[in-house]
Chains A and B, each alone.
Chain A
């Protein structure tokens, strides 16, 4: 469990995080969303005690991070910036961290195995690809078998296989009852992995909600249907909360129900469907609408022309 209370961070006269309060609960994956420069990394650094808040405080498991006798067993963190000496091997990097807590060599070997780094464990980190570097960061995060896992942009630079691996890992960590906080600037990625969302822009809280609520509230989750029997289908779909709009003859946008229900309904009544597409792009649009005013650098046509 992570609790942030009125966290504020100022660098000189620039306020990066303002009065940010939220709670991250165990057993779920919480997505920490915001455009670049929203203050996600700074917030995570304050939770880990690397940066001191100007005001407010953050606790993990009821205490400030530094107050835990074995911090690595409390929180495992992957920060966005690389946190490894490139001249050391992956194995020795983990061993050095393990020594601080009395974590045995077998655990180091275990996390190397879990992250698929066993074969390159004795290579120096400077030769690692971005993906291998991310995996080493995750191995370090899992070293203490932590109750809380904090990952800053973990899918950055990963190939599709790596992205899938991260998604599965995050879900299994949450399923084991751990608290999982993962930051991203991609709504679509979070929609696939997270249960809960904390959305910030320019260091302020914009939304603290579940993915399901966000999708419903923002009117995303529309489904595009193309069928020759549009009128027939609309009749069978009509129910409280379901709205159907016709974009073109035979092309419908259905709101308030999901693709599975529409497909089954059509099948039950023998209505042929040419297309049945859940509209996830609108989820990204909803996120962009929400954060539009809070984007730090907005590209403008004038700016591009200059």
Chain B
């Protein structure tokens, strides 16, 4: 070894390393990720095995096979919320912010670690789930191959969309500083608000709802775009904006509020 010993100092790479270490040294992380993967895989294979070839004709094949990722929208969001709000409920945040008093590198590192882990997990799970599920679907209207138009894009788009949703939840956690409140806001935004807004008799609202998190996730997942829905690219862009807005609010909160 010829490299000199670096003096102790905080660098972005080191904060990233610290957050990576923190994520993997909690049992809840392992349970969460394993459950997320197994639920997607199990649901996909289970639904496909039980599918009798009729009745679901309207559903896009990638959306159908990845129905189990409904759990991932909650699980990975909780993982993101625990990474930020969880530190406030345990008091860990005081140790974290004493080590990195500039604060923002912690937020970026948490978001980066979550992005890497969530995307890798979702992409691998999706790539595994699709062929396994298809083994049961060969003679049905849901039959498709990985090479068919839009399939790979849908599987990857779903992974990217789920990751962006988790990052959005991480930002909500940093703003709310409470796991139950952040989880409630997330579920309200993703699952309840669009259904309520849909009741309004304005066409412009219906258009806007296509860019809400859950609807954008659906559009990013589908191999074939619905006529009324957003294009996959537009859906992912919308999700990226949701995540950015959430992280921006988180950064402002972190900078200006007392720990």
Q: Which residues of A line the B interface, CB within 8 A?
A: 45, 48-52, 65-66, 68-73, 75, 77, 79, 81-89, 92-93, 95-97, 99-103, 140, 144
Q: With the chains together, A45 CA to B94 CA distance in Å?
A: 9
Beyond A85-B22, A101-B9, list 18 extra A-B contacts (CB 8 Å).
Answer: A48-B98, A69-B9, A71-B98, A72-B8, A72-B99, A81-B91, A84-B95, A87-B27, A95-B21, A96-B21, A96-B22, A97-B96, A99-B14, A99-B21, A100-B10, A100-B14, A101-B8, A144-B8
Q: Does B97 contact A (CB under 8 A)?
A: yes
CB distance from A196 to the nearest CB of B (A): 24
Residue of A nearest to B16 (CB): A99
Can you list, as one digit per residue, whether each of B233-259 has a CB less than 8 Å from chain A (1) or not (0)? Answer: 000000000000000000000000011
Nearest residue in B to A82 (C-beta to C-beta)? B91
Please name the residue on chain A nearest to B94 by beta carbon: A83
Q: Which residues of A contact B21 (CB under 8 A)?
A: 92, 95-96, 99
A77, A95, A102, A140 pick with most chain B CB within 10 angstroms: A102
Do B259 and A71 touch across chains, with their CB atoms under 8 A apart? Answer: no
Contact residues, B1-39 vs A (CB, 8 A): 6-11, 14-15, 17-19, 21-22, 25-28
> Are A86 and B90 touching (Cβ within 8 A)?
yes
Contact A96 B26 (CB under 8 A): no
Contacts of A45 in B (CB 8 A): 258-259
Binding site for A on B (CB under 8 A): 6-11, 14-15, 17-19, 21-22, 25-28, 86-87, 90-102, 258-259
| Complex Cα–Cα for A208 and B92 (A) | 33
Q: Say whether A65 contacts B101, CB under 8 Å.
A: yes
Shortest Cβ gap from A224 to chain B (Å) = 45
A161 and B19 alpha carbons, distance in the complex (Å): 36
- In the bound complex, residues from chain B placing their C-beta under 8 Å from that of A140 are 95
Listed from nearest, the 9 A-B pairs whose CB atoms lie closest are: A66-B101, A99-B18, A92-B25, A83-B94, A83-B95, A50-B259, A51-B258, A85-B92, A70-B9
CB-defined A-B contacts under 8 Å, sample of 11: A50-B94, A68-B101, A72-B8, A83-B94, A87-B90, A95-B25, A97-B96, A101-B9, A101-B10, A102-B14, A140-B95
B33 → chain A closest CB, angstroms: 15
- Say yes or no: A50 contacts B25, CB within 8 Å: no
Q: How far is the CB of B125 from chain A (nearest CB, A)?
A: 25
